[in-house]
Chains A and B, each alone.
Chain A
Amino acid sequence: MALAKRIIPCLDVTAGRVVKGVNFEGLRDAGDPVDIARRYNDEGADELTFLDITASSDDRDLILHVIESVASQVFIPLTVGGGVRRVDDIRRLLNAGADKVSINTSAVTNPDLVREAADRFGSQCIVVAIDAKAVTPENDRWEVFTHGGRNRTGLDAVEWARKMQAYGAGEILLTSMDRDGTKIGFNLSLTRAVSDAVDIPVIASGGVGNLQHLVDGVQQGHADAVLAASIFHFGEYTVREAKLAMQAAGIEVRL
């Protein structure tokens, strides 16, 4: 084996609970973050990503407690995103136990935040999350959307990924908005276009419904890591089953 391709379960967290929606709407409760994190760790998850989807700023600090609890019991890399606006938000998340912080909307509204954060904390802990949606029927051009997919920015997703690499991002978390929650597979054209355009690792996200989709994300999308939520939360597949499927397809994984 050389460097393994990673499987990253994603936990959307609000009010201290893990939830999962379809196309960014219609949330269902999926369980306690610490319980779920521990289970994924036992199954061999390579990392965990937490997205804080808390709407109210009053509840913002809840995610810090969630991260602290998980980081005291689960010893694999933890990425946290959602509502990160200032360098100080990043510092607090890292202190709480996050290994990486993912920046999404604020990277668009204030790209210098990415540069400042990378300078201060190192590129290795700065992930730029890109929510992209196809803007042509041919699915050959994609734009960046923000605010959980509500706002169109006019930015080309591939160009944006390149720019964020230049600003110091250590990884790109690429979510296909058209596919998120649909279970019909990653947007492979989008994934490949971004992955081939940057020299930093790309994590593919949005649309996983079965294990072949994970294989396709790596082999056809050229992703370095694959992120999925619902197929793991609701017990359809274990992380270990996912890894065995990837291994059977000839992909290097950590077992």
Chain B
Amino acid sequence: MNNVLLVDYGLGNLFNVKRALEHCGAEVRVSADPDEIGQADKILLPGVGAFADGMREIRRLGIDHALRHAAAAGSPLLGICLGMQMLLDESEEYGSSEGLGLISGKVAAIPQTDSDGQALKIPHIGWNELVMPEGRTCWTGSLLSTTAPGTAFYFVHSFMAQPSSPSHRVADCHYGHHAVSAVIARDNVMGCQFHPEKSGEAGLSILRRFIAQ
């Protein structure tokens, strides 16, 4: 099955994600209908923008319940960038806002200085390479099963996901010597902080693996 439901909650880079999914052979349906989302084979939650705005729209449209339902039913769910951050419990972006709570943990600002106290440029924009988080030895069975450590992807963000459980942390990147979550997963719920739809062939290969799940 190569059907992917792309959640349209009014924020973000919907068209470019759609183009990339279609380029990878997916049949894409764009929808904000909770019933459709609740029954979808695979769900992609995109997003660029502010956490509180995204969650407010998702709740207003009743999509939050649908996403929790689909996730509990085992449908593969992939969040990209803000879409990944909203999978967590809460974010400290502009005060505190509640997330979807599908992966336990929170979203915090990227520190404004590196480990030596030098100012870091924020947002973290550009190509950064994926590394194994501390304690992890392989990416077998994950979205990264055929990605080599050290492969670079395109990031644009000022906040970062901090899953409570190290086991949900699949890949990191390093910015100013800080470990920043790049890929997180709990069973069928997955997220990538970078933009696979903007990361050239490396990114498209991740979308192909998601479509093939």
Contact of A75 among B50, B152, B158, B199 (CB under 8 A): B199
B119: interface (CB < 8 Å):
yes
Given contacts A1-B150, A122-B50, A125-B48, contact A75 B23 (CB under 8 A): yes
Contact of A97 among B16, B127, B128, B154 (CB under 8 A): B16
Is the pair A97, B19 in contact by a Cβ cutoff of 8 Å?
yes
Residues of B within 8 Å of A76, CB to CB, are: 154, 198-200
Alpha-carbon distance A26/B123, docked complex (angstroms):
37
Is the pair B122, A200 in contact by a Cβ cutoff of 8 Å?
yes
Is the pair B197, A75 in contact by a Cβ cutoff of 8 Å?
yes
Residues of B within 8 Å of A31, CB to CB, are: none
Chain A residues touching B, range: 20 to 34
Residues of A within 8 Å of B199, CB to CB, are: 75-76
B28: interface (CB < 8 Å):
no
Q: Which residue of B lies closest to A196 (CB)?
A: B119
Contact of B49 among A122, A170, A201 (CB under 8 A): A122
Interface residues of B in 174-199 (CB under 8 A from A): 174-177, 195, 197-199
Given contacts A75-B23, A122-B49, A125-B48, contact A254 B152 (CB under 8 A): yes
The distance from the CB of B52 to the nearest CB of chain A, in whole angstroms, is 12
- Is the contact region of chain B dominated by helix, strand, or loop, or is it mixed? mixed
Interface string of A70-88 (1 = CB under 8 A from B): 0111011100000000000
Contact of B125 among A75, A95, A96, A124 (CB under 8 A): A124
Given contacts A76-B154, A77-B198, A170-B125, contact A3 B19 (CB under 8 A): no
B124: interface (CB < 8 Å):
yes
A179: interface (CB < 8 Å):
no
Q: Which residue of A lies closest to B198 (CB)?
A: A77
Alpha-carbon distance A171/B197, docked complex (angstroms):
21
Given contacts A2-B128, A4-B127, A99-B13, contact A71 B19 (CB under 8 A): yes
Alpha-carbon distance A41/B203, docked complex (angstroms):
13
Interface residues of B in 133-186 (CB under 8 A from A): 150, 152, 154, 156-158, 174-177
B20: interface (CB < 8 Å):
yes
B132: interface (CB < 8 Å):
no
Is the pair A97, B15 in contact by a Cβ cutoff of 8 Å?
yes
Interface size on B, residues (CB 8 A): 38
- Is the contact region of chain A dominated by helix, strand, or loop, or is it mixed? loop
Alpha-carbon distance A41/B202, docked complex (angstroms):
12
Contact of B16 among A3, A71, A201 (CB under 8 A): A71
Contact of A123 among B119, B123, B200, B204 (CB under 8 A): B123
Interface string of A17-49 (1 = CB under 8 A from B): 000000000000000000000000100001000
Is the pair A122, B126 in contact by a Cβ cutoff of 8 Å?
no
Residues of A within 8 Å of B49, CB to CB, are: 121-122
The distance from the CB of A226 to the nearest CB of chain B, in whole angstroms, is 12
Alpha-carbon distance A50/B154, docked complex (angstroms):
19
Is the pair B200, A41 in contact by a Cβ cutoff of 8 Å?
yes
Given contacts A46-B126, A75-B198, contact A122 B152 (CB under 8 A): no
Alpha-carbon distance A199/B125, docked complex (angstroms):
12
Q: Which residue of B lies closest to A74 (CB)?
A: B200
Alpha-carbon distance A6/B121, docked complex (angstroms):
14
Is the pair A2, B174 in contact by a Cβ cutoff of 8 Å?
yes
B98: interface (CB < 8 Å):
no
Is the pair A3, B203 in contact by a Cβ cutoff of 8 Å?
no
A225: interface (CB < 8 Å):
yes
Alpha-carbon distance A172/B50, docked complex (angstroms):
21
Is the pair B126, A6 in contact by a Cβ cutoff of 8 Å?
yes
Residues of B within 8 Å of A180, CB to CB, are: none
Is the pair A122, B48 in contact by a Cβ cutoff of 8 Å?
yes
Given contacts A2-B128, A122-B50, contact A200 B197 (CB under 8 A): no
Residues of A within 8 Å of B15, CB to CB, are: 71, 95-97
A-side residues, CB < 8 A to B, are 1-6, 41, 46, 71-73, 75-77, 94-97, 99, 121-125, 170-171, 199-201, 224-225, 254
> Can you list 28 A-B contacts with CB-CB less than 8 angstroms, sorted by A residue number?
A2-B175, A2-B177, A3-B124, A3-B128, A4-B128, A4-B152, A6-B127, A46-B154, A75-B23, A75-B198, A75-B200, A76-B198, A94-B13, A99-B16, A99-B156, A121-B49, A124-B125, A124-B156, A124-B158, A170-B125, A171-B125, A199-B122, A200-B122, A201-B121, A201-B126, A224-B126, A225-B126, A254-B129
